[in-house]
Amino acid sequence: MKKYTVFLLLFLFASLVAEAQNKKALQSPAIVEKADSISASLGKLPPSGRKIDTVKVEVPNIYVWKITPRLGERIFIPRDSAVIDFHKSMLVDGKGVAIGYLGNVGSPLQSKIFFERPEPSRFIFQDPVRAWRKGPEDQIFYNTKVPYSEIKYQSGGGGESAENRFQGEISMNMGKKLNVGFDFDYIYSRGFYNSLSNKGVSYDLYASYIGDKYKMHAYFQNNNFTIIENGGISDTLYISNPDHPNVVNNGNFKGSSLDIPTRMQDTWNRLRGRNLYVTNRYDLGDDTETYPVNDSVMGTRKKKDYVSLASVIFTTHYTDQRRRFNSNYSNIANVYTPQLWNGEKGWTTLSDPKYEANIDDYMSYYSFKNTLALAMNEGFQKWTKFGLTAFIEHDLRKYSMPFLGIEESGTMYGLPGASMKESEYSLLVGGVLTKEKGKFLRYRATAEKDLHNSDYRLEGEITTRLNFRNKDFSVKANAYIKNISPSFFQNNFSSKYWNWKDMGLKDTRRVYIGGEIIFPELSFSQTRISGGVENITGLIYYNQEKKIAQSNEEIQVIALRLDQNFRSGIFHWDNQAVYQYTKNEKALPLPQWSLYSNIYLTTKLAKVLTLQLGADAYIHAKYHIPGYEPLTMQFYNQQDMKLGEFPVVSAYLNLHLKYTRFFVMMYNIAEGMGNGQSFSLYRYPVNPRVLKLGISWQFNN
């Protein structure tokens, strides 16, 4: 109770400070004319956000953008200052319509919506924690008139099950062109089930320089994650049917989630890594002109509405990621059986593991990537209605994994700590054709080919606006064809118990077409419809034995999504519905339908305090929900049980005053109701009912 009282007092104090700061921040914005060097008001940005037509616009005190990692193009985005649904931004469930995760903030997760899943990276062990670490494409860059800082804190539960997350950021300009910043993210979640906790520490330093001719973005990021693994609960009956005799006869189970036995303990995964990224862009051409000051004196000034003929781009990205799997669990041999992939013989079960000591398996990945590009800029002449960029990219990669020796008899051997190393490289050439200016038509097409490997990509996107009865519809279509070679750690894996080498996986080919329609906003509703169809040949996945496998047939995936929001006065009802079809449910299981619904009231108190009071729910169809395997750190396709149709319902209160946001929510209020199948992943239940709190406090001074 003391903690909740402190939260309330902190919110009230922050609100008073924010009120005082607001008077300072609302100064007269500047008027700018050059579109290339500075962003426009967010409300006047074109939908793509990459470039802005040259017009006089008001510039806010703070504006932000992301960049494309290869070419460093700026994509202007709204700043995180949402008045409503603040509780969603700080919850794992809020990252999508249907998310599968271990239960904790900071734990491995996977979207159950196929088209929301990113492609597997070259270091697949970091993919499950992708949501908790940032790459260059995720970094937000700032331009501020006054120093900006923000802190966020969220908490749930207490004692042995407490989960906490603290985030902090500071950014400031040193002149009009140079900005530097730092942000920090600390997660510590003890978990509501035995031996299921995690800690994450990540931070990054970043800088941007936006000059008239030279632009630079730099970013250094470090991450450190420790995930205590329990392999899931030992029996799903503890959640789905706690009155079952197998549960009742367990004298140690008293009804608490911490009483439920788990498959393992004293086992953990550690992930460490860093990124160093710098992109430079220099505009060629002379942006000055002479003009007569008087009859005898000539002056120099900047050309009006100048667009450079071309730009030279050079990007460097260094990354290294490491993963270590350890276990001191004495009964780990009851969980894992030693198995070896033996070429044409397939999987062989062995009597002994690779070594006798406790598990200590280490894998690492290193990449040093350099990109050189030459861009012809859109609009440097009246007849150039498009931009064209050519690039070449070299990527040197190195890998290490535990040593794997195979004797003629078919047995394996190795030592903990001993490693084997491999290296490879790619050499990409490609081009980008864009039209980013204009009101009614924009497009972007990318083509690239790896000259050293079999990978290639063709991607395209086109956006237009249609007018019907004086109402604008936004219509977008996108498509791609990709040929993706398997990564080193898909073809090779080495540990104390499971091992495969040179698996011989084939390339994966993906062909997709999709689109989106955004309907005109009405006084009572907002509607958006999107969808797509993809055919996949050679899909790589982890089967019900938790081992890597590849589909020999073409798999088709169809998805349709409806975002439909209603409002009437202070009443709001927001909905997201997704339909999915998969041709092969063993290789690619997906819920046929997934729903998110949010009913709330929102109003202003005393004209300054925004209040949102409501309840939301997540639910999806029954299907063979994926499992998670700590040994490989991958999600696998179990076939033992269909789970789903359980609503995760939460009641919440959001408050917003100037620069301060606060939420309090009761999570999973439907616990113990319905069909009892409250599982996020197979053997990983949703957390029990718990009170959660969060606060965000921005400083602008």
Q: φ, ψ for residue 431 (rounded to 5)?
A: -150, 160
Q: What pLDDT score was predicted for residue 532?
A: 98
What is the Cα–Cα distance from 321 to 124, expressed in whole angstroms?
10
What are 74's strand-pairing partners?
A: 67
Residue 485 has pLDDT above 90, yes or no: yes
Q: Are 295 and 344 contacting, i.e. CB atoms less than 8 angstroms apart?
A: no
What is the Cα–Cα distance from 380 to 394, expressed in whole angstroms?
30
In tens, the pLDDT along 381-419 reads: 888 889 999 999 999 999 999 988 877 666 777 877 778
- Gyration radius of the chain's alpha carbons: 27
In tens, the pLDDT along 37-52 reads: 323 333 333 433 344 4
Q: What pLDDT score was predicted for residue 512?
A: 99
Q: What pLDDT score was predicted for residue 472?
A: 86
Q: Are 359 and 326 contacting, i.e. CB atoms less than 8 angstroms apart?
A: yes
Q: What pLDDT score was predicted for residue 48?
A: 38
Q: What pLDDT score was predicted for residue 544?
A: 96
The one-letter amino acid code at 614 reads G
What is the Cα–Cα distance from 169 to 209, expressed in whole angstroms?
19
Beta-sheet strand order (sheet of 62-67): 74-77, 62-67, 141-144
Ordered DSSP codes for 543-567: -TTSSEEE-SSEEEEEEEEEEEEEE
HSE-CB at 280 with a 13 A cutoff on CA atoms is 8
Residue 188 has pLDDT above 60, yes or no: yes
What is the Cα–Cα distance from 548 to 503, expressed in whole angstroms?
9
C-alpha distance from residue 102 to each of 155, 227, 238, 449, 687 (Å): 17, 10, 16, 38, 9
* Chain centroid, CA 250 distance in Å: 41
In tens, the pLDDT along 587-626 reads: 999 999 999 999 999 999 998 999 999 999 999 999 999 9
Alpha helices for 193-345 (secondary structure H): 237-240, 245-248
What percent of the chain is predicted at pLDDT more than 90?
72
Between β-strands 339-341 and 498-500, what pairing exists: parallel, antiparallel or unpaired?
A: parallel
Q: At a CB cut-off of 8 Å and minimum separation 6, what does 53 contact?
A: 35, 46, 437
Q: What pLDDT score was predicted for residue 1?
A: 52
* Chain centroid, CA 231 distance in Å: 24
- Mean pLDDT within 237-242: 88
Q: What pTM, to 2 d.p., does this model score?
A: 0.89
What is the Cα–Cα distance from 180 to 330, expressed in whole angstroms?
49
What are the start-end ranges of the E strands in 33-177?
57-58, 62-67, 74-77, 99-101, 109-111, 141-144, 148-156, 163-174
What is the Cα–Cα distance from 67 to 77, expressed in whole angstroms?
10
Helix (H), strand (E) at residue 2: helix 2-25
**Domain ranges in the chain?**
2-694
Q: What pLDDT score was predicted for residue 364?
A: 97
C-alpha distance from residue 207 to each of 77, 140, 283 (Å): 17, 10, 19
Q: φ, ψ for residue 325 (rounded to 5)?
A: -115, 120
Q: What pLDDT score was predicted for residue 428?
A: 98
Q: Are 206 and 181 contacting, i.e. CB atoms less than 8 angstroms apart?
A: yes
Joined together, the tokens standing for residue 647 give 């609503």
What is the Cα–Cα distance from 601 to 395, expressed in whole angstroms?
52
Q: What pLDDT score was predicted for residue 432?
A: 97
Joined together, the tokens standing for residue 300 give 């120099």
In tens, the pLDDT along 291-334 reads: 777 777 777 888 887 888 899 999 999 999 999 999 999 999 99
Q: What pLDDT score was predicted for residue 14?
A: 45
Alpha helices for 346-417 (secondary structure H): none
- Mean pLDDT within 240-262: 83
What is the Cα–Cα distance from 646 to 618, expressed in whole angstroms?
8
Lowest mean pLDDT among 78-92, 454-468, 620-634: 78-92
Per-residue confidence band for 35, with pLDDT thresholds at 50, 70 and 90: very low
Q: At a CB cut-off of 8 Å and minimum separation 6, what does 249 contact?
A: none
The one-letter amino acid code at 536 reads I
Computed over every residue of the chain, the mean pLDDT equals 89
- Mean pLDDT within 449-478: 93
Residue 362 has pLDDT above 60, yes or no: yes
Q: What pLDDT score was predicted for residue 275?
A: 97
What percent of the chain is predicted at pLDDT more than 70?
91
Fold of the domain built from segment(s) 2-694: Maltoporin; Chain A (2.40.170)
**331 CB neighbour count, 10 Å cutoff:** 10
C-alpha distance from residue 520 to each of 48, 254, 475, 476, 598 (Å): 18, 55, 11, 14, 21
Q: What pLDDT score was predicted for residue 39?
A: 32
- Mean pLDDT within 184-188: 97
- Mean pLDDT within 662-670: 95
Top pLDDT among 500 and 439 is at: 500
